[in-house]
Structure 1
């Protein structure tokens, strides 16, 4: 009788472990990108402080295009040799890391 009750308990215990469902883990990655809006300005309208800072930091750089945003931050498209890149500066000619 003990064996019958013990075996029934083992069988019922093993069935309940199979009936347990694993919790569903949902991982969602949300990324928000903020794009600042720049408007193109003429190269003549770029402040002299920015032009001087560009010549000091990159003497062989050629300023191709310039853009400005609402915070008076400038985005400069430059060419150094055969490489093209972007630089960011404020109106005083201080470089901004973006």
Structure 2
């Protein structure tokens, strides 16, 4: 009889383990928002000449549609090449940055 009760308890206990809901420990949405918020939109005319020269040299025919700048003087550029839009990052010296 003890074995029957023990087997029943183990069977029921194992079924409840599968019904447990997963616990979310951390939500990473704040990290994404922080990266997006650190750039302030600026006028395209405010982009340094070194950056526009690098764009003309490396991406012929590309035009800056929007420009953003952060506190480290890094620039985020929304660039149109033909009908395609892409985002490029550069420092104030016109060197491209991988982000």
Written as runs of structure 1 = structure 2, the 5 A alignment for 1:56-95 is 56-95=57-96
The structure carrying a bigger helix percent of its residues is 2
Distance 1:61 1:27, change over 3 A: same
**Which of 4, 7, 17 is the equivalent residue of 1:11?**
4
Total equivalences in the alignment: 91
RMSD over aligned CA atoms reads 2.2
Structure 1 CA distance for aligned equivalents of residues 4 and 43 of structure 2: 83
Q: Give the corresponding residue for 1:3.
A: none
SS at match of 1:64: strand
When normalised by structure 2's length, the TM-score is: 0.72
User: C-alpha deviations, 1:1-42, integer Å up to 9, x for none?
Assistant: xxxxxxx34323323323535444634152132233322323
Larger Rg: 1
SS at match of 1:20: helix
Contact 1:72–1:91, Cα closer than 8 Å, also in 2: yes
Query: Given the alignment of the two structures, is residue 53 of structure 1 paired with residue 90 of structure 2, yes or no?
Result: no
Any gaps of 5 or more consecutive residues in structure 1? Answer: 1-7
Any gaps of 5 or more consecutive residues in structure 2? Answer: none
When normalised by structure 1's length, the TM-score is: 0.73
| 1:46, distance to aligned residue in structure 2 (A) | 1.4
Q: Give the corresponding residue for 1:5.
A: none
